[in-house]
Structure 1
Amino acid sequence: MALLIDDIAKDIALTRWALPECLHVPIAALDEDAIRNYVGAVERVVSGPGLRSALLVTLAGRYCSSSSDQRSTNVGILHARRQVWVHIAYKAYRPAYKRAFPGENIDGLILSHAMNRDTAAYKGFDFVRITPASGVANLSSAFTQQWAKNRHRPESPVVTRRAGPPFIQYADLSDLMLMLDMMVGGGVMDAVNEGQQLLQRKAQN
């Protein structure tokens, strides 16, 4: 079955973050149906008997491929054909990841939620993608994650669950940098800001 296009999520990535389509990487989804409709097929459940809290998702193909992909040895992770998505309340995600990829050595690495779980909850997303990252890169993103949590935290508890679009969210530049195991930095996040300015200038040309 062909994937659907979340036009709102796509517009946010194009206009708010100035990201070209080849950098539209889904990192959060409303629910399992949204994963199936907008991300890829659920190959199997890896969260253990009776739970659907960790999913091995298979994409039909990559969104783009170019020689520029070689600028980072980690770039293949962005559009990896097989990905692990977990429910934001699920805590045993490391064993689940190992069940999904038993041959992958993640010793010395942490498994990073591509979108902070609190932020995902505030936005109404139940599932987020996880990827391996070094502890130092993950720590460098702490300021960004706290900023996002403060920005999206609702003033009062959410009574009804969100059901409308966007059904997924694509990574912004800081999310992509962490997935690539790059230092995001704190404070004014110079590295992210410089990259964002380059993308915006490219989009205007």
Structure 2
Amino acid sequence: MMTYDIVNVRSNPAQWMAWQQSVFSDWDLLNTLRKAEFRASLRLEPFVPPEGKTGDSDNTRYIVPRGDALDSYREHVSSVVAPKTIQANRNGMQWLGAGIDALDITGETVAIFGSGQEADHRKALGNIVPTEDWVRMQHCMLLVPDAEEYHYWSWRAAHRQPEALIRVKPDIGFQARLLKAEKAMFDRHKEHNQANMKPANVV
């Protein structure tokens, strides 16, 4: 049984905004990670995903410029994949959402793409997922816990740049902390929005 629903809102800005406000998504997570209090609740200071435990990488092949990150990932894995917006459908988890950069047709492989910035790409070539991307991946795993593989794909559109695919494993302990912190933040946002929607008192 699928643990998520695909939400078709990408082509409609109004629907996208309404959906975004109804969930705590990976986009919200990346913004919230800038807050020291939230990072502290996740024990991210200091935090570096350990080399050699983050996953296995395929980073020996050099490439020439072609398409974009999605095109290059499709070619690398030789699979039918597409970006998807999803929302958890398990009881008590429907407030979780995510934008998956590439999801295969069977739901067995989930991929998140790196920023393409040089510093992040160098980490990926050393088999290390940048911290914020690693946290984002753990968030996405909460929505798709039954996938067989979780890929981090890093690619730079420059001549003869190496590419990196890292297979990332779930961190159950971290996910428990993440879920608790995200739920607290989501509830806080929800209370704030409801307070702002209350009509002004008539004198």
* TM-score above 0.5: no
User: TM-score, with normalisation over the residues of structure 2?
Assistant: 0.30
User: TM-score, with normalisation over the residues of structure 1?
Assistant: 0.30
